[in-house]
Amino acid sequence: MWQEKLQEAKKGDHKALARLLSFVENEQPGFEELLASLPPGSTPVIGITGPPGAGKSTLVDALISIWTGQGKKVAVLCVDPSSPFHQGALLGDRIRMTSWYNHPDVYIRSLATRGSMGGLHPKIIELTDLLRCVGFDQILIETVGVGQSEVEIAGLADVTAVILVPEAGDEVQTMKSGLMEVADLFVVNKADRPDAAAFVKNLQAMLAPAFSRKTSTIPILQTVATRAEGISTLATTLETLQQSPELRDKKSWLLTEKAYQLIGRKRMSDVSRTRLQEEIKTAMQQKDFNLYRFVSSFNSD
Ligand SMILES: Nc1nc2c(ncn2[C@@H]2O[C@H](COP(=O)(O)OP(=O)(O)O)[C@@H](O)[C@H]2O)c(=O)[nH]1
Ligand SMILES: [Mg+2]
């Protein structure tokens, strides 16, 4: 029964957690009941997105090191088919990453398939919400930022870090508007490259007239993930962003995005995001707010 597995997962049993995630992923009988029973999850979610090869997995690896070193429990969802978390990656990378697989405070789940619509994994919202409720201190989601998925990840994560590398000049230009919308933080990784300083300057100039929903400036950090340089600053910056008042404002927007996607899957008719957000703002005042119950009652309107 999922009830028992949930209790075991909350006690840190990773096998039970894996079974539960598969239970939801495969839509086994009772999965909707499980989702509707979840309390408002307390663990914040960090989205790590950016082009392939930018160093996302290496950064995730370094962040796991920092947080487990502080005695924290960390979960990672990886939706990057090219990632070292997956088969087919360079052997060295794979060995480095898999060293976490047996760590009692680290849970890593790779989601191999992408959504049929070209977006993220079809059950990513549900899997993330489940992870939020089983006692982790941090949840990281690694995705390849290509078009649509950045926007999706922004709707999923409380804080989104966009990872760039100095040579990404043209990529930044084309991804510009989407990136500015979703990024709470930019990380220029591979700062050991000689053109890093110039790249950061360009990025700063580009972000200066930011027409985003954010009022404060978006931090830009530099890291050398392979040497773990800049990682403690990255970790503390992420923690600071998790505490920021802007995040609280973002919460109803975030829930609206998630509800919109969940509702969209169930029926094809147009739903007004504005009306949805108004209703969510009211509903989320309730202490036992649950997105899945909200969505099913919204459907029956
Ligand atoms: N020079 C340099 N190489 C890096 C750095 N970070 C990652 N790499 C390398 O870049 C490659 C891609 O890294 P990976 O973490 O797999 O990127 P992902 O595709 O974004 O997850 C690997 O060979 C890493 O060793 C860095 O800061 N400097
Ligand atoms: Mg990767």
Q: Which ligand 1 atom sits closest to the C-alpha of 60?
A: 15
My answer on whether 54 and 170 are in the same domain is yes
Q: How many domains does the chain have?
A: 3
What's the rounded Cα separation, in Å, for the pair 109 and 107?
7
- Of the pLDDT bands very low, low, confident and very high (cuts 50, 70, 90), residue 180 is low
My answer on whether 183 and 214 are in the same domain is yes
Q: Is the CB of 56 under 6 A from ligand 1?
A: yes
Distance (Å) from CA 55 to ligand 1 centroid? 4
Query: Is 202 a residue whose pLDDT tops 50?
Result: yes
Highest mean pLDDT out of 9-18, 95-104, 121-130: 9-18
Average pLDDT, the chain: 82
Closest CA to 66 of 211, 204, 239: 239
My answer on whether 29 and 45 are in the same domain is no
| Residue 103 exposed, middle or buried by CB count within 10 Å (0-12, 13-18, 19+) | middle
Query: Is 114 a residue whose pLDDT tops 60?
Result: no
My answer on whether 185 and 267 are in the same domain is no
Q: What is the pLDDT of residue 146?
A: 61
My answer on whether 45 and 166 are in the same domain is yes
Query: Is 209 a residue whose pLDDT tops 80?
Result: no
Highest mean pLDDT out of 56-70, 170-184, 212-226, 239-253: 56-70
Q: What is the pLDDT of residue 14?
A: 95
Distance in Å from the first CA to the final CA of the chain: 31
My answer on whether 58 and 162 are in the same domain is yes
Structure tokens at 217: 């400036």
My answer on whether 229 and 101 are in the same domain is yes
Q: What is the pLDDT of residue 116?
A: 47
Q: Is the CB of 81 under 6 A from ligand 1?
A: no
Instruction: Name the one residue in this structure whose structure tokens are 């949805």.
Output: 276
Contact indicator for 35, 66 with CB cutoff of 8 Å:
no
My answer on whether 56 and 96 are in the same domain is yes
Least confident of 28-37, 40-49, 169-178, 285-294: 169-178
- Of the pLDDT bands very low, low, confident and very high (cuts 50, 70, 90), residue 264 is confident
pLDDT tens digits, one per residue of 76-106: 998 855 544 444 444 444 445 667 878 999 9
Residue 113 belongs to a domain with what CATH number?
3.40.50.300
Strands 138-144 and 185-188: unpaired
The whole-model pTM stands at 0.85
| Residue of the CA atom closest to atom 1 of ligand 1 | 190
My answer on whether 268 and 282 are in the same domain is yes
Query: Is 66 a residue whose pLDDT tops 90?
Result: yes
| Residue 63 exposed, middle or buried by CB count within 10 Å (0-12, 13-18, 19+) | buried
My answer on whether 46 and 31 are in the same domain is no
Cα-based distances in Å from 121 to 110, 112, 143, 153, 230: 10, 8, 10, 11, 30
My answer on whether 157 and 65 are in the same domain is yes
Query: Is 158 a residue whose pLDDT tops 50?
Result: yes
Least confident of 6-10, 28-32, 114-118, 155-159: 114-118
What's the rounded Cα separation, in Å, for the pair 301 and 296?
9
What's the rounded Cα separation, in Å, for the pair 69 and 52?
28
Q: Is the CB of 49 under 6 A from ligand 1?
A: no
Q: Is the CB of 226 under 6 A from ligand 1?
A: yes
Q: Is the CB of 225 under 6 A from ligand 1?
A: yes
Residue-range definition of the domain harbouring residue 24: 1-37
Kindly state the greatest CA–CA separation across the chain. 58
Beta strands in the chain, from DSSP E residues, in sequence order = 45-50, 74-79, 106-110, 138-144, 159-164, 185-188, 220-222
My answer on whether 147 and 261 are in the same domain is no
- Tell me, what amino acid is at 142? E
